[in-house]
Amino acid sequence: MRQAKIQPYARHLFVCTGPRCAPGTSEQLFDSLGEKLKAHGLTSGALRVKRTRSHCFAVCKEGPIVVVYPEGVWYCTVTPEVMDRIIVEHLKGGVPVQEYIFHRAEVAGQTNNLE
C-alpha cells in the first residue's frame, strides 16, 4: 500500500465557503489566499501554511469565517484587508488579530496563550 505524503506545515487555515453566511465573498477570499501566502513566503519552509475550504462551520453570522490551527483561533468578518493582517500579524508574527477573534477552541494538549 502506498503511503500518502504531505509536506510539514506550521499552521492550517480553514475558510468557510458555505453558501449561507457570505456567498461568493468567502470563495473569493479563499481563492486569493494562494497568491497571498506565496507572496509572504508561507507556502514552504518552517512557517508553511496549509489552506482548506470548509463547506460550513454552522456559524452563519458575521462571515466570512476563518479558523487557524493549531491555535484554534476563529476569526469573523474576514475581508481581504483583515486577511492581510491575519497573514502578517498571526501567521508570520505569531500574534493573533484580537479585534476579529470571536472564539478560541480548546486544543487537546495545548495551552491557548493568545493574550
Q: Is the pTM of this model over 0.85?
A: yes
pLDDT at 16: 93
Per-residue pLDDT at 108 exceeds 70 = no
What's the number of domains the chain is made of? 1
In a domain, 111, yes or no: no
10 confidence band (pLDDT: 50, 70, 90): very high
Query: Residue 35 maps to which CATH number?
Result: 3.40.30.10
Its domain, for residue 35, covers 11-97
Gyration radius of the chain's alpha carbons: 14
Query: What whole-number distance in Å separates Cα of residue 34 and Cα of residue 51?
Result: 8
In a domain, 113, yes or no: no
In a domain, 3, yes or no: no
Tens of pLDDT, residue by residue over 37-75, are: 999 999 999 999 999 999 888 887 788 999 999 999 999
In a domain, 4, yes or no: no
In a domain, 40, yes or no: yes
From residue 113, give the alpha-carbon distance in Å to each of 66, 93, 94, 97.
19, 15, 11, 14
